[in-house]
Amino acid sequence: MAKRSAHRNRPAPNFGWQRVQGPHHTAAYRVSHKVAKGVSLGVLAVLAFVGTFAGVTWADIAKTVDQQGIDVIVQKSNGKKVDILPVDPYANTPINILLIGQDTRDGEGNAAVGGDDVGVAGLHNADTTMILQISADRKFVNLVSIPRDLMVSTPGCETSNGTMYAQSSVMFNSIFPNAYSQGGDIASAASCTMNEVNYLSGMEIQQFMVVDFSGLSKMIDAIGGVDICIPTYTRDGYTGIELGQGMQHLDGNTATQFARMRHGAGTDGSDTMRTTRQQYLIKRLIKTVLEKNMLTHSAQLYQLAKAGLESVQMSQGLADATVLAGLAASMKDFNMNRLYSQTIPVTAWSQDANRSQLAAGADDVWEKLRNAQPLVDDANTGSSSDSSSSSDSSSKNSDSSSSSDNSSSDSTDSSSNSTDSSTSTDSNAGSSDTSDGSTYDAATNTYKQADGTIIDAETGGIIDPETGAIRSQVTGQYIGLASRYIEVTYCGVKY
């Protein structure tokens, strides 16, 4: 693993009393995908890292963070020089982080979760890939999953051991292990993955976090487990997981298996459906940390930080304890209702239905990320249309007189045309009829049509009433999980 050779000589972040010379962002990188283990850890490592400022504890944490920092390998594909600067949590600029969950069996903890068959020895796959975007004003967070079976072209990338050449029609998750194989380190694998994500999205992501099975499991155990609403009986013979319907308290190992599972009862075997569970687990993890007020309890936070950070490898712009603490402090009052998540819109690949390709609606999502706009168009009312749609479906989003909070980035109109209704989306309004005959339920933030179809008000997608998974009305592919719907319907949660 390539360590940061000049960590102490790099520019310092601008914490009010200092000024950073040079640009705060530029880059040329891209990414890879699959299990929520790494993703969740990455998010929590960022959000749950304030409070341990005392003496030896702080020094210990700072040392751990510094040891986990690795180089970003500068890419040459865009023909411009790139300056990699540390993240400045107080710069009033959006922060983009590529979260990569690594499927590796190295180490006792990873083998215990993922298995230790001879055939997987030395495995280094990208098991989860998500783009985490924190708004400039820290008022909303976007989380976008990239399916591992997405067919892509790659522009080639630089590794620690030479150039990996351009390819066409390869699976997205092949980039991480191939770059690891050529470069021999996580720096190569993560940098080439980030390079690909930037190539696909037109973004300039500079930072990444890479986490393994063991990391997520340890962090969840450190916070005392996590409550997950299970909408239907779930069983998977591959991971050994078996969960009944209702709110279930999961320990680290079980929660990690919940994120990994793809077969058996409660799932359809697709990677896109699995990404919806991964997104939901992240939301529940962050919610648990915030509800326990761990950000201000140094003893608990210390255990959480140590448990997670020892298994998180970060790009050098993040691998600074002061940077992470400053970012967490700026988000300690974050409203969970403004964490917007979805899977990038895809459709079946033309040459193999078991693979996927980007759908037309992907461009709309990329544009929102490039402009640092919330995925949900109306961030105040929770009303928006399916961002994967290019023309309407029968989605029933309400017409609200409220506009998006000006303190967050201005939202553009969704590319899909929603049917206007006269119903307010006030969460205290209860259920009411709309002008087109559907019924809006404020508790679940859904519309129920006359034929019984349930529409998610945020995305305009169709909700599977049994699993809570949301499908795009245009592509038929999964784009998210209706967490409010399943929590109210199956677990009695009050909103």
> What confidence score (pLDDT) does residue 232 get?
93
Tokens 């003893």 sit on residue: 299
- Which residue positions in the chain have pLDDT lower than 70? 1-59, 61, 77-85, 103-124, 293-308, 378-432, 435
As a whole number of angstroms, the longest Cα–Cα distance in the chain is 64
Long-range pairs for 52-60: beta carbons < 8 A, 24 or more residues apart: 52/298, 52/301, 52/302, 52/305, 52/325, 53/298, 53/325, 54/298, 57/298, 57/302, 58/321, 60/306
CB 463 within 8 A of CB 385: no
Tens of pLDDT, residue by residue over 157-212, are 999 999 999 999 999 999 999 999 999 999 999 999 999 999 999 999 999 999 88
Q: Give pLDDT, residue 378.
A: 56
Tens digits of residue pLDDT in 143-152: 999 999 999 9
Q: Shortest CA distance to 308 belongs to which of 224, 208, 214, 226?
A: 214
- For the CA atoms of 191, 195, 201, 207, what is the dihedral angle to 10 degrees? 30
What distance in Å separates the CA atoms of residue 343 and residue 150, rounded to the nearest whole number?
Answer: 11
The answer to whether 144 touches 369, Cβ cutoff 8 Å, is yes
Question: What pLDDT does 80 receive?
Answer: 59
Reduce the DSSP state of residue 160 to 3 states and report it: coil
**What pLDDT sits at residue 323?**
84
The pLDDT score that the predictor gives to residue 9 is: 46
- Residue 293 has what pLDDT? 66
Helix (H, G, I), strand (E, B) or coil at 346: strand
Phi and psi dihedrals of 207, rounded to 5? -120, 150
Q: Strand pairing of 141-145 and 339-343?
A: parallel
CB neighbour class for 6 (10 Å; exposed up to 12, middle 13-18, buried from 19): exposed
Please state, in angstroms and rounded to a whole number, the distance separating the CA atoms of residues 353 and 417: 28
